[in-house]
Structure 1
Amino acid sequence: MAHQTGLRRAQLAKLTGCNLETIRYYEKVGLLPPPPRSANGYRVYSPDLVQRLQFILRARDMGFAMEETRSLLSLTDSGTQTCAEVKLKTEAHLADVRQRISNLRRIEALLSQTASQCSGDNVPECAILDILRPEEGYATGH
């Protein structure tokens, strides 16, 4: 094996703020290719792999799912990506994020209304539990 220069996994983790196990996981699922090994058997992460991990971490921070990240990486890996393709994927993700925000706002309003109906007293009766219980004859299927 040729002598390789680069970072070992622990150094990569420290540099990027990514957990060692997460790096292993990304290798296992193919988001990060297996790095070459040095003569003494250590994995050696090149600057390209550091940049790839940073890309993955940024995508994760922006809420992209693993498959969405994989899709974005495949576009860049092939070198055939167009801004239009990336924008289309990003706009689809943005629509999903907006939908989740809308759902969370609805849940927040419902929880706020429900919590306001609770006395908070140290008694067995609880308005919150009453609201959560299905009504008589009400089908519980979703």
Structure 2
Amino acid sequence: MSRKTIGILSRECGVKVTTIRYYESIGLIREPDRTDSGQRIYDDAAVERLNFIRHARDLGFPIEAIRELIDLQESPGTDCASVDRIARSQLADVRRRLNQLEALEAELKNMITNCKGGVIDDCKVLQTLSNHDQCLDVHDAHKEFTPIGS
């Protein structure tokens, strides 16, 4: 069994030290053993768990879904229907965000296409940004966009 400091774990897994500490504080990673001087020491299980979390985050899974997946992972004989439900929910969320991005792309293309150059006073980009009625789509001007990975 290898024993790693938090710095080594951070480098090997590509996760910042502060993020590792955060995952510990919210219970995604078990509190590690410590040396007599108080230094955190991580085992291979911590490396596997952190890699799992990082990969899930890269795929956009929210923390609560990752927590649920970890809980399910600790019951290997359980039916995987819950895991499938979580993955399908994540896929639906990604599709929703893709639709948002496509709508944003269309709006931006429209603004740029309608911009013929000239002076700022006649700028179609600025006019569209100033007047929501000039948009192609009736989208919620105050709706917060959900970026990938949040």
Partner of 2:14: 17
Q: Which runs of 4+ in 1 moved over 2 A?
A: 77-82, 119-125, 132-136
- What pairs up with 1:48-63 in 2 under 5 angstroms? 48-63=45-60
The answer for unaligned runs of 5 or more in structure 1 is: none
Change in CA separation of 1:117 and 1:8 when aligned onto 2, cut-off 3 Å: same
Q: Greater Rg, structure 1 or structure 2?
A: 1
C-alpha contact 1:8 1:44 (8 A) present in aligned 2: yes
1:99 maps to 2:107: no
Deviation at 1:119, TM superposition (A): 2.7
1:42 maps to 2:35: no
Structure 1 length-normalised TM: 0.84
Structure 2 length-normalised TM: 0.80
- What pairs up with 1:1-142 in 2 under 5 angstroms? 6-79=3-76, 81-134=78-131
RMSD: 2.3
Query: How many pairs does the alignment contain?
Result: 136
C-alpha contact 1:5 1:44 (8 A) present in aligned 2: no
Change in CA separation of 1:22 and 1:135 when aligned onto 2, cut-off 3 Å: closer
- The aligned amino acid for 1:90 is A
The answer for unaligned runs of 5 or more in structure 2 is: 134-140, 144-150
SS at match of 1:124: helix
Counterpart Cα distance in 2 of 1:22 and 1:135: 39
C-alpha contact 2:69 2:83 (8 A) present in aligned 1: yes
SS at match of 2:33: coil
- The more displaced of 117-126 and 61-70 is 117-126
